[in-house]
Amino acid sequence: MGDKSVYDETRDRRGFRERIMDCITMREERATSPVPETDEDRSNEASIGLCLRELSRSPLSVVWNQYRNKKWLEHPRLPPLEELEAKLVEIVPSYSAFFTTGKKSIVNCAFVPLFPYEFRHLQDTIRRGDVSRRSLHFRFNRPLDSVSDSLLQYLTNVDMCDHMAVCCNVFENGEWRTIATARVIREHDQPDWAEWAAIVADPYHCNTIGSCLLYYISQVAFNAGIHTLYAVVNPANAPVLHWMKKLGAKLVVRQNV
């Protein structure tokens, strides 16, 4: 099977991310092309429509957890790292959504399953000051000046089974930027229940991105056997409370959470 690869922590993962985003963009260009469709095109379009399949029992989850469990080291039972990366680059676009949304301004978004290579990009978003202390407080329900590396590692190293997450990427100033994330974490005692959470960079607030993210991750969760989503929302977070009320969510007041 060829030589095994050993992970170098200093290795730049940008190439992996860019390859995935290139595939998503090329797929979108093909989808909007005026060239008449063939039977093969229609078949491909149907497969693209399966982007909300159950991640926890999908080829993506299988390949991803091989990749994740490898932990960048040699393992005799797993393919070389390059082979796993190639499979992921091929598979991920089928689990992604590329669309346009916006109320204040038009935003071209790509929703992509969240992987550890987003660690550095989320760091960049935070260091640019795009996520305020207020937004962090509402997201984590405690005062935070920033997000620690250990917390970012937890948020980006998901298993796509009990902890599923997606990110929203936009192409700006010649590069892809991560501007929002959403996740669901399954309850072990009640596997059809899960807590959801989302955060959107401040410059993109009130632009429907959060609503789209919740819809997307809720469909992923439903297809993974999760039928009830709940969230712990700060009582001062009026926009999210109003938004949840519009969705018909049941409000339960809890003290000292």
Q: Which residue has the tokens 């059809």?
A: 192
Q: Are 186 and 163 contacting, i.e. CB atoms less than 8 angstroms apart?
A: yes
Q: Are 121 and 223 contacting, i.e. CB atoms less than 8 angstroms apart?
A: no
The reply to whether 4 falls in a domain is no
pLDDT value for 36 = 44
The reply to whether 252 falls in a domain is no
Q: What is the pLDDT along the chain (257 residues), one digit of tens a residue?
A: 333 333 343 344 457 778 888 887 776 665 444 444 445 444 444 433 444 444 545 667 777 777 776 654 556 666 666 777 788 888 888 788 887 888 888 888 899 998 888 888 999 999 999 999 999 999 998 999 889 999 999 998 888 888 999 999 998 888 889 999 999 999 999 999 999 999 999 999 988 898 888 888 888 888 888 999 999 999 898 888 887 888 788 888 776 65
The reply to whether 107 falls in a domain is yes
C-alpha 65: how far from its chain's center? Answer: 16
The reply to whether 3 falls in a domain is no
3-state secondary structure the chain: CCCCCCCCCCCCCHHHHHHHHHHHHHHHHHHCCCCCCCHHHHHHHHHHCCCCCCHHHCHHHHHHHHHHHHCCCCCCCCCCHHHHHHHHHHHHHHHCEEEEECCCCCEEEEEEECCCCHHHHHHHHHHCCCCCHHHHHHHHCCCCCCCCHHHHHHHHCCCCCCEEEEEEEEEECCEEEEEEEEEEEECCCCCCEEEEEEEECHHHCCCCHHHHHHHHHHHHHHHCCCCEEECCCCCCCHHHHHHHHHCCCCCCCCCCC
Domain span at 164: 14-246
Query: How many domains does the structure of the chain reveal?
Result: 1
Q: Are 92 and 113 contacting, i.e. CB atoms less than 8 angstroms apart?
A: yes
pLDDT value for 98 = 81
Q: Are 2 and 68 contacting, i.e. CB atoms less than 8 angstroms apart?
A: no
pLDDT value for 75 = 61
The reply to whether 6 falls in a domain is no
The CATH number of residue 241's host domain is: 3.40.630.30
**To 10 degrees, what angle do helices 118-127 and 149-156 make?**
130
The reply to whether 169 falls in a domain is yes
pLDDT value for 115 = 83
pLDDT value for 86 = 80
Angle, CA 142 vertex, CA 138 and CA 143 arms, to 5°: 95
The reply to whether 39 falls in a domain is yes
pLDDT value for 91 = 81
Which of 183, 209, 218, 208 lies closest to 198 in space, CA to CA?
Answer: 183
The reply to whether 145 falls in a domain is yes
